[in-house]
Chain A
């Protein structure tokens, strides 16, 4: 069981907005450690999508946005496109474990 909890799957139609939640606790997200998000296509390495809760690396479309509140964080994707179909993972630092932790991952299906 992952320290950070994500829904196993989400889906949406092209053009719609979807959100993926990442629920932590007082020893990670709630302790003000930053959250990052990764996108992974089948057979490829994960790619950094969001860092410092809300920042996008160069080249990531602004359709992707991150937010954080309390012990949870969210990734929002607007104007959903077929090419967004992938697995998404959140990551943060956990002070009780003294290491980084990943969420269990969410598979996004574009209907």
Chain B
């Protein structure tokens, strides 16, 4: 069974750093792209970026490229989304999702990680 399990909710202050995780199981981690999607409370889905764990090739949305970093640890089948300096506007739910091997859609999703940034 394919599963993506994300790390728990975080409460941070502006300016702090953060790294959230997405641990996968049930398939070969290195053979599928993993994407990250942001959802601000009450708003829609925003495609942030995607990473290929096999070689860490990454593609970012310009809206997020300067703010976040995607990475993976193949040894533990885990993908990461990282901020160096959080802002209040980063408050949102963040989902990781597996991109289908056949096209640009997400066939499995993590449960989401709520990030709250407040002073």
Contact of A102 among B46, B107, B111 (CB under 8 A): B46
Contact of A2 among B44, B59, B102, B106 (CB under 8 A): B44
Once the chains are docked, how many angstroms separate the CA of A57 from the CA of B45?
21
Contact of A45 among B35, B95, B105 (CB under 8 A): B95
Interchain CB contact under 8 A, A45 and B61: no
A100 partner residues in chain B, CB cutoff 8 A: 35, 47, 50, 104-105
- B17 located at the interface, meaning its Cβ lies under 8 Å from any Cβ of chain A in the complex: no
Q: B residues 91-113 with Cβ under 8 Å of A?
A: 95, 97, 100, 102-112
Interchain CB contact under 8 A, B103 and A102: no
Interchain CB contact under 8 A, A52 and B110: no
Q: Which of A51, A100, A105 has the most CB of B within 10 A?
A: A100
Closest to B4 in A: A45
Once the chains are docked, how many angstroms separate the CA of A36 from the CA of B59?
20
B100 partner residues in chain A, CB cutoff 8 A: 51
- Write the residues of chain A forming the contact surface with B, with a CB cutoff of 8 angstroms: 2, 33-34, 36, 38, 40, 44-48, 51-52, 57, 89, 91-93, 97-105
- Write the residues of chain B forming the contact surface with A, with a CB cutoff of 8 angstroms: 35, 37, 44-47, 50, 59, 61, 95, 97, 100, 102-112
